[in-house]
Every structure is written in C-alpha cells, then in structure tokens.
C-alpha cells in the first residue's frame, strides 16, 4: 500500500427525489434568518420556487439575485455583495450549476456567510473548497475551507429538466474531476474508489439520458456519480486538464462544461504513458480495454461537440493558450512542455479524436 494522507471535507449532503422539501429545516438548522437566493437568469424560476417554499413556512428571505455568470467575474460578485449588504442577508442559497455555486462561494469568501447549495447540473463544484474567479480575462483559482458549502441538497427532480446536451457535457465535466483524481499527486485509495465508481455511474447513465431525458433512474445514477466525482475534486489536487480549462475559459470566455468535455480525452492522452495504473482503473470504469478510446466512444455516444473551434475559440488563440498554460503550471505526472501542450490544445481546437502518440 502506498503512503497517503486523507482529509475529509466537512459537508452535510442530503440526496434523493423531492429533497428540496427539507430546505426549510436546513435553513433553520444553520440559524439563518434572511438568506439571499442566488441563480442565473435562466434558473430564476427555481429561485422563485425556493423563495415561495421558505415563505410558506414562515421563513423570510433577502430576496433573489438572478445574475450569476459563467467563470464568476469580479464585477458580478461585487453587485451581488452590494445586494446582500443592502438587504442584510446572513447566508446564501445557491440553486443552479457552476456559475451560481461559484457566486455563492465568492460571497462566502468575502463575508463568511453560510451556504446551502441545490445543484441542478453535474458540475460538482458544490463539494469542493475551490473557487475560480475571473478579472480582466484571467481566471485564477484558490482553495480555502471558507468557500466550502455547509449543506448540499441533491434533488434529482431538479435535474429532470436539464437539457440532454448540457446533461452530457456537465456529466463529462464531472468525469474529468475523477480522471485527474486517479493520478493526482495527493491521491489516496479512498479517493480512487470514489473516482472509479463515479466514472462508472456517469458513463452508464449519460447515454441513457441522451436516449430518454426523462429516465429518472438514469438521472439519479448520474447525480450520484456527479456527487462522487465532485467529492474527488474537493479532496485532491488537479493537473494539466483543469489548468488548460481554466486558461481557455478565462482567456476566451468559452462555455465551461463544453471546454472540459472537449479537452479531457486529449489531456488524458498526454498523461497516459506516465499513469498506467490510473489508466487501467479508468478503462475498467469505462468498460473498454483502453481508457482514451473509452472516452472517445463515450463522447461519440453523447453526440457532443469535439472541437474548441465549435464553441468560439479562434485558431490564433492556440499559441496564447499554450503560453498561459505553462505559466504557474499545476503539478502533473508528465512534465508540462510547451510543444506537447500546444499540440494538446491544437488537437482539441480541431476536434480530432484523442490518441496517445505525444
């Protein structure tokens, strides 16, 4: 058995269908009197549902802030903080995906307000002490217990309306967390088990959702897998895949889940020669003899976009991204060399099938 260190993150998780009904009890348990409800404009109906649920049981809220934005831009955070201060909010309830959860974390970072999160996608940010923020086109990340949500309510019902395309990319985004956890410098046997099971659950469930978006059993399995993968992200360090996605998202304002989906197989192929044990576990989880090919097959089944050029990245941005990616590089099992990283980005930009010939 290899030496390891394992630290569990404190968080209360409520999982099931219809679990939103337990939200008022969780608000009371945290002693909140005026929580501010956060969402994106598209998720405002869910925010209204939460506000009405609390009001029906005599719990006052500080109203809603419905302008959460991808990549957590600083100016949006400042506007949300102004609303929270003006309305004397004492906590936040974030309902939505990574954009909303990121805003809740940004507020908590600056105020220490407790957070309750109701995820509606499979992104996994709710289980991590990690926050990424964007200012002047540069996305930076940090890890601090201050941004770890106190309560996460997983309600499968809120994922039933998630469009199939976003279900696929959000789910692959979650898989990316587990993939990098399997070869993390700070990995351990407990995380390995969660990572493999999380990938297996999502790889089985996502194609079923593409066939039938109303498959409740598949939706439940996917959310379970996303919880496991998000937990992995919160417990160990990430590597070149996440570095690339942070660079690409911040520099070109690319959609978060699509970027993870497109980059993942190429980043894995880059690291493959140095992580044979992780590759074997991942291949088993994907039901394929080869992990890279297993990802190629899964992405084909999910009918997702495969090229960064399809989601708005210009070809002349390849070199800029490569330069940014080798600055302040994350630890990686294979040395971060500009020529190789540029080729990862180029293949991802072109939408080529991933192959392990770096």
Determine, yes or no, domain membership for 289: yes
Does residue 179 sit in the same domain as residue 120?
A: no
| Nearest-5° Cα angle at 242, 237 to 243 | 100
Does residue 62 sit in the same domain as residue 196?
A: no
Q: Per the structure block, which two tokens stand in for 77?
A: 């955070």
Determine, yes or no, domain membership for 38: yes
Mean pLDDT of 156-170: 95
State yes or no: pLDDT of 167 exceeds 90: yes
Does residue 308 sit in the same domain as residue 200?
A: yes
Segment 13-24, tens digit of pLDDT: 999 999 999 999
Does residue 45 sit in the same domain as residue 170?
A: no
Taking the C-alpha atoms of residue 257 and residue 248, their distance in angstroms, rounded to an integer, is 12
Concatenate the DSSP letters of all residues of 224-273 into one string: HHHHHHHHHHHHS---HHHHHHHHHHHHH---HHHHHHHHHHHHHHHHGG
State yes or no: pLDDT of 1 exceeds 80: no
Concatenate the DSSP letters of all residues of 86-138 into one string: HTT--EEEEEESHHHHHHHHHHHHHH---EEEEE-SS--GGG-SEEEEEETTE
Does residue 113 sit in the same domain as residue 187?
A: no
What is the domain range of residue 218?
A: 164-350
What's the CATH number where 61 sits? 3.40.50.1970
Number of domains in the chain: 2
Q: How confident is the model at residue 346 (pLDDT cuts 50, 70, 90)?
A: very high
Determine, yes or no, domain membership for 357: no
Of 159, 180, 210, the residue that ends a domain is: 159
Helix, strand, coil distribution of the chain in percent, nearest 5: 60, 10, 30
Does residue 183 sit in the same domain as residue 101?
A: no
Does residue 199 sit in the same domain as residue 341?
A: yes
Segment 42-78, tens digit of pLDDT: 999 999 999 999 999 999 999 999 999 999 999 999 9
Segment 89-123, tens digit of pLDDT: 999 999 999 999 999 999 999 999 999 999 999 98
Does residue 183 sit in the same domain as residue 331?
A: yes
């Amino acid at each position: 058995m290899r030496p390891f260190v394992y630290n569990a993150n404190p968080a209360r998780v409520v999982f099931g269908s219809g679990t939103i009904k337990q939200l008022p009890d969780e608000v009371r348990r945290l002693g909140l009197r005026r929580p501010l409800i956060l969402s994106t404009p598209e998720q405002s109906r869910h925010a209204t549902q939460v506000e009405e649920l609390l009001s029906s049981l005599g719990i006052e809220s500080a109203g809603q802030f419905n302008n959460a934005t991808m990549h957590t831009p600083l100016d949006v955070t400042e506007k949300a903080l102004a609303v929270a201060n003006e309305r004397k909010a004492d906590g936040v309830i974030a309902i939505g995906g990574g954009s909303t959860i990121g805003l809740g974390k940004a507020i908590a970072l600056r105020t220490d307000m407790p957070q309750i999160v109701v995820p509606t996608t499979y992104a996994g940010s709710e289980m991590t002490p990690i926050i990424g923020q964007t200012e002047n086109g540069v996305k930076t990340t940090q890890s601090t217990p201050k941004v770890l949500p106190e309560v996460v309510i997983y309600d499968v019902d809120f994922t039933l309306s998630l469009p199939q395309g976003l279900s696929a990319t959000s789910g692959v985004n979650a898989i990316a967390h587990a993939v990098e956890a399997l070869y993390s410098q700070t990995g351990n046997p407990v995380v390995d088990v969660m990572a493999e099971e999380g990938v297996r659950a999502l790889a089985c469930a996502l194609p079923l959702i593409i066939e039938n978006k109303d498959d409740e059993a598949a939706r439940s399995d996917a959310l379970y897998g996303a919880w496991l993968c998000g937990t992995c992200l919160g417990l160990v360090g990430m590597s070149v895949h996440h570095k690339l996605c942070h660079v690409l998202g911040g520099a070109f304002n690319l959609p978060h889940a699509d970027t993870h989906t497109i980059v993942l197989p190429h980043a894995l192929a880059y690291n493959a020669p140095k992580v044979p044990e992780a590759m074997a576990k991942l291949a088993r989880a994907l039901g394929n003899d080869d992990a890279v090919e297993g990802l190629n097959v899964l992405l084909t089944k999910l009918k997702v976009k495969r090229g960064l050029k399809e989601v708005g990245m210009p070809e002349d941005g390849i070199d800029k991204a490569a330069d940014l990616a080798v600055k302040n590089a994350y630890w990686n099992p294979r040395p971060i060399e500009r020529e190789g990283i540029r080729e990862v980005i180029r293949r991802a930009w072109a939408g080529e099938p991933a192959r392990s010939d770096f």
